[in-house]
């Protein structure tokens, strides 16, 4: 089952949960336990929506990674010394500066 189908199924299940919670709320009213259940159902819905967003971003990242996996070869030869002119060693500071 694809993640899209699973998330759609979660939305359907949460819809059923919300209907049950609202039915219970109409029966029991605004008692503290019922308020907690209503808030929990809303939190679960929010969490699933965030998961849906995260899953979409992960799919985009996976797609980008798969399509940009080209490796660039780096030669083992020495660099020209002019390449390193005016460069400080990390952690050492300005060598040769007065």
Report the C-alpha gap between 21 and 19 in whole angstroms: 5
Q: What is the pLDDT of residue 63?
A: 56
Q: Span 44-66, mean pLDDT?
A: 74
Question: What's the chain's average pLDDT?
Answer: 79
Annotate 19-30 with DSSP letters as a single string.
Answer: HHHHHHHHHH-S
Tell me the pLDDT tens digit for each residue of 70-88. 777 888 888 787 877 777 6
Domain ranges of the chain: 3-68
pLDDT of residue 41: 92
């Amino acid at each position: 089952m694809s993640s899209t189908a699973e998330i759609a199924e979660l939305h359907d299940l949460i819809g059923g949960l919300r209907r049950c919670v609202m039915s219970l709320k109409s029966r029991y009213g605004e008692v503290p336990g019922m308020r907690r259940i209503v808030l929990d159902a809303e939190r679960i819905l929010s969490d699933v929506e965030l998961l849906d967003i995260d899953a979409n971003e992960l799919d985009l990242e996976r797609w980008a990674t798969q399509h940009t996996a080209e490796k660039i070869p780096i030669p083992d030869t020495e660099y020209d010394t002019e390449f390193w002119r005016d460069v400080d060693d990390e952690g050492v500071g300005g060598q040769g500066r007065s």
